[in-house]
Amino acid sequence: MKAARFSRFGGPEVLEIVDLPAPHPGPGQVCIAVRAAGVNASDWKKRQGLMDEDLPQTLGYEAAGVVDELGEGVTDVTVGERVFGFDASGAAQAELAVLSHYAPIPASLGFTEVAALPAATETAMRALDQLGVDSGSTLLVNGASGSVGSCAVQFAVARGARVIGTGGPANHDYLRSLGAEPVAYGQGMSERVRALAPEGVDRALDIAGSGVLPELIALAGGADHVLTVADFAGAQEYGVRFSRGDSGRALYVLDEIGDLVGTGRFALPPVRTFPLAEIAEAHRAGEAGGVRSKLVLVVG
Protein backbone atom coordinates (compact mmCIF):
# COMPACT_ATOMS: atom_id res chain seq x y z
CA MET A 1 0.00 0.00 0.00
CA LYS A 2 1.02 3.62 -0.47
CA ALA A 3 1.83 5.54 2.71
CA ALA A 4 3.43 8.82 3.77
CA ARG A 5 6.79 8.46 5.51
CA PHE A 6 10.08 10.23 6.16
CA SER A 7 13.49 8.66 6.73
CA ARG A 8 15.32 11.77 7.93
CA PHE A 9 14.32 14.85 9.86
CA GLY A 10 13.96 18.17 8.09
CA GLY A 11 11.59 20.31 6.08
CA PRO A 12 8.61 19.18 3.99
CA GLU A 13 11.02 18.00 1.28
CA VAL A 14 11.91 14.91 3.39
CA LEU A 15 8.36 13.55 3.02
CA GLU A 16 7.85 10.73 0.55
CA ILE A 17 5.14 8.31 -0.54
CA VAL A 18 6.42 4.74 -0.22
CA ASP A 19 5.12 1.18 -0.51
CA LEU A 20 4.59 -0.50 2.86
CA PRO A 21 3.06 -3.84 3.89
CA ALA A 22 -0.69 -3.72 4.50
CA PRO A 23 -1.57 -3.49 8.22
CA HIS A 24 -4.02 -5.82 9.96
CA PRO A 25 -6.21 -5.03 12.96
CA GLY A 26 -5.67 -6.47 16.41
CA PRO A 27 -8.43 -7.35 18.89
CA GLY A 28 -11.03 -4.61 19.11
CA GLN A 29 -9.62 -2.74 16.10
CA VAL A 30 -10.69 -2.27 12.50
CA CYS A 31 -8.64 -1.76 9.35
CA ILE A 32 -10.08 0.77 6.93
CA ALA A 33 -9.52 1.67 3.31
CA VAL A 34 -8.65 5.31 3.95
CA ARG A 35 -10.56 7.95 2.02
CA ALA A 36 -9.31 10.99 3.95
CA ALA A 37 -6.78 11.65 6.72
CA GLY A 38 -6.31 14.74 8.86
CA VAL A 39 -3.05 16.69 9.08
CA ASN A 40 -2.05 18.23 12.41
CA ALA A 41 0.78 20.25 13.91
CA SER A 42 2.05 17.05 15.52
CA ASP A 43 2.85 15.77 12.02
CA TRP A 44 5.35 18.50 11.20
CA LYS A 45 6.73 18.42 14.75
CA LYS A 46 7.47 14.74 14.22
CA ARG A 47 9.02 15.50 10.85
CA GLN A 48 11.25 18.15 12.44
CA GLY A 49 12.51 15.66 15.04
CA LEU A 50 10.75 17.34 17.97
CA MET A 51 8.87 14.23 19.11
CA ASP A 52 9.95 10.66 18.34
CA GLU A 53 13.64 9.99 17.75
CA ASP A 54 13.33 6.78 15.74
CA LEU A 55 13.53 6.67 11.94
CA PRO A 56 11.82 6.08 9.60
CA GLN A 57 8.42 7.34 10.72
CA THR A 58 4.93 7.23 9.28
CA LEU A 59 2.38 9.99 9.83
CA GLY A 60 -1.25 10.55 10.76
CA TYR A 61 -3.45 9.93 13.80
CA GLU A 62 -6.93 10.46 12.38
CA ALA A 63 -8.71 9.10 9.33
CA ALA A 64 -12.03 8.28 7.74
CA GLY A 65 -12.81 5.47 5.36
CA VAL A 66 -14.53 2.16 4.73
CA VAL A 67 -14.06 -0.87 6.98
CA ASP A 68 -11.88 -3.40 5.17
CA GLU A 69 -11.11 -5.92 7.92
CA LEU A 70 -12.37 -6.59 11.45
CA GLY A 71 -10.19 -7.41 14.42
CA GLU A 72 -11.06 -10.16 16.87
CA GLY A 73 -14.13 -9.37 18.94
CA VAL A 74 -15.41 -6.48 16.82
CA THR A 75 -19.19 -6.71 16.49
CA ASP A 76 -20.33 -3.07 16.40
CA VAL A 77 -19.42 -2.41 12.75
CA THR A 78 -19.31 -4.49 9.58
CA VAL A 79 -17.02 -4.67 6.55
CA GLY A 80 -18.04 -1.97 4.08
CA GLU A 81 -19.32 0.43 6.74
CA ARG A 82 -18.12 4.05 6.79
CA VAL A 83 -16.22 4.93 9.98
CA PHE A 84 -13.81 7.54 11.30
CA GLY A 85 -11.47 7.63 14.25
CA PHE A 86 -7.95 7.37 15.65
CA ASP A 87 -4.92 5.44 14.45
CA ALA A 88 -2.86 5.03 17.63
CA SER A 89 0.19 3.91 15.65
CA GLY A 90 0.42 7.22 13.77
CA ALA A 91 0.15 5.72 10.31
CA ALA A 92 -3.23 7.00 9.08
CA GLN A 93 -1.89 8.91 6.07
CA ALA A 94 -1.92 5.83 3.89
CA GLU A 95 -4.19 3.71 1.73
CA LEU A 96 -4.97 1.43 4.68
CA ALA A 97 -5.00 2.27 8.39
CA VAL A 98 -5.86 0.50 11.63
CA LEU A 99 -8.25 2.40 13.90
CA SER A 100 -8.10 1.69 17.62
CA HIS A 101 -11.07 3.95 18.41
CA TYR A 102 -13.78 4.61 15.84
CA ALA A 103 -17.42 5.50 15.24
CA PRO A 104 -19.82 5.28 12.30
CA ILE A 105 -19.87 8.32 10.02
CA PRO A 106 -23.27 10.07 10.17
CA ALA A 107 -25.14 9.68 6.90
CA SER A 108 -25.19 13.43 6.32
CA LEU A 109 -21.39 13.81 6.47
CA GLY A 110 -18.62 13.02 4.00
CA PHE A 111 -15.17 11.51 4.48
CA THR A 112 -13.21 14.77 4.30
CA GLU A 113 -15.51 16.49 6.78
CA VAL A 114 -15.17 13.86 9.48
CA ALA A 115 -11.47 13.19 8.90
CA ALA A 116 -10.93 16.73 10.19
CA LEU A 117 -12.70 16.03 13.48
CA PRO A 118 -11.13 13.35 15.73
CA ALA A 119 -7.99 15.09 17.00
CA ALA A 120 -9.47 18.58 17.31
CA THR A 121 -12.73 17.49 18.94
CA GLU A 122 -11.06 15.09 21.37
CA THR A 123 -8.48 17.68 22.43
CA ALA A 124 -11.17 20.32 22.95
CA MET A 125 -13.58 18.07 24.84
CA ARG A 126 -10.80 16.65 27.03
CA ALA A 127 -9.69 20.16 27.96
CA LEU A 128 -13.21 21.22 28.91
CA ASP A 129 -13.68 18.06 31.00
CA GLN A 130 -10.41 18.62 32.83
CA LEU A 131 -11.24 22.27 33.47
CA GLY A 132 -14.71 21.40 34.71
CA VAL A 133 -16.51 23.79 32.35
CA ASP A 134 -20.26 23.57 32.89
CA SER A 135 -23.49 25.49 32.58
CA GLY A 136 -23.35 29.01 33.95
CA SER A 137 -19.57 29.30 33.97
CA THR A 138 -17.58 31.86 32.00
CA LEU A 139 -14.74 30.45 29.91
CA LEU A 140 -11.96 32.40 28.20
CA VAL A 141 -10.48 30.59 25.18
CA ASN A 142 -7.12 31.94 24.02
CA GLY A 143 -6.82 31.08 20.34
CA ALA A 144 -10.50 30.49 19.71
CA SER A 145 -10.66 30.58 15.92
CA GLY A 146 -8.40 27.63 15.05
CA SER A 147 -9.53 24.04 14.63
CA VAL A 148 -9.24 23.09 18.33
CA GLY A 149 -10.36 26.49 19.57
CA SER A 150 -13.51 26.56 17.46
CA CYS A 151 -14.43 23.11 18.78
CA ALA A 152 -13.84 24.19 22.37
CA VAL A 153 -16.02 27.26 21.89
CA GLN A 154 -18.91 25.24 20.49
CA PHE A 155 -18.70 22.42 23.04
CA ALA A 156 -18.62 24.96 25.89
CA VAL A 157 -21.59 26.84 24.47
CA ALA A 158 -23.47 23.54 24.12
CA ARG A 159 -22.82 22.95 27.83
CA GLY A 160 -24.41 26.28 28.66
CA ALA A 161 -21.23 28.23 29.36
CA ARG A 162 -20.53 31.82 28.44
CA VAL A 163 -17.47 31.95 26.17
CA ILE A 164 -15.08 34.82 25.52
CA GLY A 165 -12.66 34.00 22.72
CA THR A 166 -9.46 35.71 21.61
CA GLY A 167 -8.72 36.01 17.92
CA GLY A 168 -7.61 38.40 15.21
CA PRO A 169 -10.16 41.03 14.13
CA ALA A 170 -10.69 39.22 10.82
CA ASN A 171 -12.05 36.22 12.77
CA HIS A 172 -14.40 38.06 15.11
CA ASP A 173 -17.52 37.54 13.01
CA TYR A 174 -16.65 33.85 12.77
CA LEU A 175 -16.30 33.62 16.57
CA ARG A 176 -19.66 35.33 17.03
CA SER A 177 -21.24 32.78 14.70
CA LEU A 178 -19.95 30.03 17.00
CA GLY A 179 -21.48 31.67 20.05
CA ALA A 180 -18.40 33.38 21.51
CA GLU A 181 -17.83 37.01 22.49
CA PRO A 182 -14.65 37.94 20.61
CA VAL A 183 -11.75 40.03 21.88
CA ALA A 184 -8.51 40.86 20.10
CA TYR A 185 -5.37 39.19 21.36
CA GLY A 186 -2.12 41.06 21.92
CA GLN A 187 -1.31 44.01 24.15
CA GLY A 188 -4.31 45.09 26.22
CA MET A 189 -6.07 41.72 25.96
CA SER A 190 -6.71 41.54 29.72
CA GLU A 191 -8.37 44.94 29.75
CA ARG A 192 -10.56 43.98 26.80
CA VAL A 193 -11.64 40.78 28.58
CA ARG A 194 -12.42 42.70 31.79
CA ALA A 195 -14.56 45.12 29.79
CA LEU A 196 -16.80 42.14 29.08
CA ALA A 197 -16.31 40.34 32.41
CA PRO A 198 -15.31 42.90 35.10
CA GLU A 199 -14.90 40.22 37.77
CA GLY A 200 -12.77 38.03 35.52
CA VAL A 201 -13.61 34.56 34.24
CA ASP A 202 -14.20 31.20 35.92
CA ARG A 203 -11.88 29.17 33.66
CA ALA A 204 -9.31 29.88 30.95
CA LEU A 205 -8.15 27.55 28.18
CA ASP A 206 -4.95 28.30 26.28
CA ILE A 207 -4.87 26.81 22.81
CA ALA A 208 -2.62 29.34 21.08
CA GLY A 209 0.42 28.90 23.31
CA SER A 210 1.22 32.58 22.83
CA GLY A 211 2.87 33.25 26.18
CA VAL A 212 -0.15 34.73 27.94
CA LEU A 213 -0.48 32.26 30.83
CA PRO A 214 0.24 34.91 33.49
CA GLU A 215 -2.60 37.03 32.12
CA LEU A 216 -4.94 34.03 32.01
CA ILE A 217 -4.05 33.14 35.61
CA ALA A 218 -4.89 36.67 36.74
CA LEU A 219 -8.17 36.71 34.83
CA ALA A 220 -9.24 33.27 36.08
CA GLY A 221 -8.24 33.80 39.71
CA GLY A 222 -5.45 31.25 39.95
CA ALA A 223 -3.34 28.73 38.07
CA ASP A 224 -5.68 25.89 39.06
CA HIS A 225 -8.40 27.49 36.90
CA VAL A 226 -6.22 27.53 33.76
CA LEU A 227 -5.30 24.75 31.36
CA THR A 228 -3.09 24.79 28.26
CA VAL A 229 -2.80 22.34 25.40
CA ALA A 230 0.01 24.26 23.71
CA ASP A 231 2.51 25.74 26.19
CA PHE A 232 4.32 22.92 28.03
CA ALA A 233 7.20 25.10 29.23
CA GLY A 234 4.82 27.81 30.43
CA ALA A 235 2.70 25.27 32.27
CA GLN A 236 5.75 24.09 34.20
CA GLU A 237 6.86 27.62 34.96
CA TYR A 238 3.51 28.91 36.20
CA GLY A 239 1.97 25.77 37.70
CA VAL A 240 -0.72 25.44 35.07
CA ARG A 241 -2.06 22.06 34.03
CA PHE A 242 -0.90 20.86 30.62
CA SER A 243 -3.37 18.55 28.89
CA ARG A 244 -2.09 15.72 26.74
CA GLY A 245 -3.55 12.55 25.30
CA ASP A 246 -2.07 10.28 27.93
CA SER A 247 -3.81 12.14 30.77
CA GLY A 248 -7.26 10.65 30.07
CA ARG A 249 -8.92 11.01 26.69
CA ALA A 250 -12.43 12.12 25.73
CA LEU A 251 -12.94 9.45 23.09
CA TYR A 252 -16.70 9.50 23.65
CA VAL A 253 -16.79 12.64 21.50
CA LEU A 254 -16.62 10.46 18.36
CA ASP A 255 -20.03 9.03 19.22
CA GLU A 256 -21.55 12.40 20.16
CA ILE A 257 -20.36 14.63 17.33
CA GLY A 258 -22.93 13.36 14.83
CA ASP A 259 -25.81 14.35 17.09
CA LEU A 260 -24.26 17.76 17.78
CA VAL A 261 -23.94 18.41 14.05
CA GLY A 262 -27.42 17.10 13.32
CA THR A 263 -29.04 19.34 15.93
CA GLY A 264 -27.17 22.43 14.81
CA ARG A 265 -25.04 22.74 17.96
CA PHE A 266 -21.77 22.16 16.10
CA ALA A 267 -20.64 23.78 12.85
CA LEU A 268 -18.05 21.79 10.95
CA PRO A 269 -14.69 23.51 10.48
CA PRO A 270 -13.73 24.61 6.97
CA VAL A 271 -11.54 22.02 5.25
CA ARG A 272 -8.71 22.46 2.77
CA THR A 273 -7.81 19.27 0.92
CA PHE A 274 -4.64 17.96 -0.72
CA PRO A 275 -4.02 14.67 -2.54
CA LEU A 276 -1.88 12.25 -0.52
CA ALA A 277 0.92 12.74 -3.07
CA GLU A 278 1.00 16.47 -2.21
CA ILE A 279 1.55 15.96 1.53
CA ALA A 280 4.57 18.27 1.45
CA GLU A 281 2.36 21.12 0.26
CA ALA A 282 -0.08 20.42 3.09
CA HIS A 283 2.78 20.69 5.60
CA ARG A 284 3.95 23.96 4.06
CA ALA A 285 0.46 25.40 4.30
CA GLY A 286 0.10 24.34 7.93
CA GLU A 287 3.51 25.58 9.01
CA ALA A 288 2.96 28.94 7.31
CA GLY A 289 0.23 29.63 9.88
CA GLY A 290 -2.84 31.78 9.55
CA VAL A 291 -4.89 28.89 8.14
CA ARG A 292 -8.28 28.55 9.78
CA SER A 293 -9.20 25.58 7.59
CA LYS A 294 -8.41 22.08 8.76
CA LEU A 295 -5.94 20.37 6.42
CA VAL A 296 -7.02 16.99 5.07
CA LEU A 297 -5.30 14.55 2.72
CA VAL A 298 -7.55 12.82 0.20
CA VAL A 299 -6.59 9.21 -0.44
CA GLY A 300 -7.73 7.13 -3.38
Domain range annotation of the chain: 2-117+268-298, 122-247
Number of C-beta neighbours around residue 173 at 10 A: 9
Q: How far apart are CA 202 and CA 84, in angstroms?
A: 34
Per-residue pLDDT, 8: 97
Q: Helix count (H) and strand count (E) of the chain?
A: 10, 16
Question: What pTM did the predictor assign?
Answer: 0.90
The β-bridge partners of 85 are 63, 102
Alpha helices in 142-188 (DSSP H): 147-158, 172-178
Kindly report the CATH number that applies to the domain delimited by 2-117+268-298. Answer: 3.90.180.10
Q: How far apart are CA 298 and CA 259, in angstroms?
A: 25
| Cis geometry, peptide bond prior to residue 27 (ω within 30 degrees of 0) | no
Specify the CATH architecture of the domain 122-247: Alpha-Beta Complex (3.90)
Tell me if 2-117+268-298 shares its fold with 122-247: yes
Alpha helices in 68-163 (DSSP H): 111-115, 118-131, 147-158
Low-confidence ranges of the chain (pLDDT < 70): 245-247, 290-292
Phi, psi of 273 (to 5 degrees): -105, 150
What residues have CB less than 8 Å from 64, skipping those under 6 apart?
32, 34, 35, 36, 37, 82, 83, 84, 105, 111, 112, 114, 115
